[in-house]
A = this chain, B = another copy of it.
Amino acid sequence: MARINDNYLKLAAGYLFPEIGRRVGAYKEAHPDADIIRLGIGDVVLPLPEAVCEAMHTAVDELGSVGGFRGYGPEQGYDFLRTAIAEHDYGSRGVEVSPDEIFVSDGSKCDSANIQEIFAADAVVAIPDPVYPVYLDTNVMAGRTGELGDDGRYGGVVYLPCTDSTDFIAVPPDRPVDLAYLCFPNNPTGSTATVEMLAKWVEYARETGAILLFDAAYEAYITDDTIPHSIFEVPGAREVAIEFRSFSKNVGFTGTRCAYTVVPEQLRGKAGDGSDVDIRSLWNRRHTTKFNGASYVVQAGAAAAYTERGRAEVRERIDYYLDNARIIREGLDGIGLKVWGGINAPYVWSQTPDGLGSWEFFDRLLERAQVVGTPGSGFGSCGEGYFRLSAFGKREQIEEAVARIRTKLS
């Protein structure tokens, strides 16, 4: 019988979001009239910007016309979008990224999941804890880890503990690795890294030969002018880093699907025979062999987000969610909880009250306030005793959730 990839069997059975769904479902069944407010999954709620919708309508009309029809586009993305990205996301901040270093895709989940494929099967991977589960799971699937231990950790992974003592910011490990995943502004903790902190990572990578996989999906939420939006704002990063960006959390494309990855021309890896290999060529080969470009209609919409009107509409949305985050922060602070994030990020990370475990607090919050959040332990063992609330909700829901937390949990 066809032999399967046994690494899949190592994956932890109880994935975070299904378990949340199960508990919420059980609560709903017992309390059918409960008005549950969901601040668990980081999914946007505001409509797409008008400028974006208009561009998508125009694109659909083109595809429906004899003269305007487009078939296969370039796998790496249309020039009109890659040029807009290079100019607005990088050039405008004084960062050098050229269009041919940009690979447009249908989502950052895919990109951050697929990137590991171009590296060695026995590459050593450093992963923060707590962390967005995709980085870890895709390396488990690829066989770069041992079994899952009783401590909830996989053998062979270099975990980067992120704790209260470092403001939940990962610092370089004391040993060399091949790949290190970083995410700033961070999911789930909302932490951000200064140029100095990122410079330590770039220095580490340059000294040890690691490649940094930098997930900047939430960069639009940075309000502090001193916080870098891109790893490439750090001198020397072009030789050691890959960056992931998304249209999901700024333009609202969680259901529309568009993202991109930047692989600088200078980035090199090492082949088994010791020779240097151009990483951008490898990623290009992966991208063109296994992907056929993002939908033209979607790319047209993404490009419209860079017009003057599009940028203003995106800004309104970011501000709205950041106001939500402030309301959540103040609410949790008001009942005496220690909080992080929520200033340069759409996530608020808090200590649980009364020394409760993450899932215990999940249950208490659901039962007393009918509010759904995400248990910190679902992101890794260092998340135990913490909790994530997402600012992606409608204002009235956020206000109601916080009012309930203040009255029912204090």
Contacts and interface: CB of A to CB of B under 8 A. Distances in A.
A313 B301 CA distance: 26
Contact of A123 (B3, B46, B209, B295): B3
Nearest to A43: B71
A222 interface: no
Contacts of A398: none
A59 to B, nearest CB: 9
A351 to B, nearest CB: 28
Contacts of A277: 4, 9
A151 to B, nearest CB: 22
A270 B106 contact: no
A45 interface: yes
B290 A4 contact: no
A255 B296 contact: yes
Contacts of A3: 119-120, 122-123, 178, 269-272
B2 A179 contact: yes
A182 to B, nearest CB: 14
* Copies of this chain, count: 2
Contact of A47 (B64, B113, B118, B289): B64
Nearest to A66: B47
A113 B286 CA distance: 10
A80 interface: no
How many interface residues does chain A have, given as a range? 35 or more
Interface stretch (A135-143, A154-162, A330-338): A135-143
Given A270-B4, A271-B4, A296-B256, A48 B63 contact: yes
A269 B3 CA distance: 6
Interface string A288-308: 011111111110000000000
Contacts of A5: 117-121, 282
A109 B291 contact: yes
A1 B270 contact: yes
A73 interface: yes
Interface stretch (A49-57, A228-236, A375-383): A49-57
A41 interface: yes
6 contacts: A4-B118, A48-B69, A53-B64, A63-B256, A70-B255, A107-B291
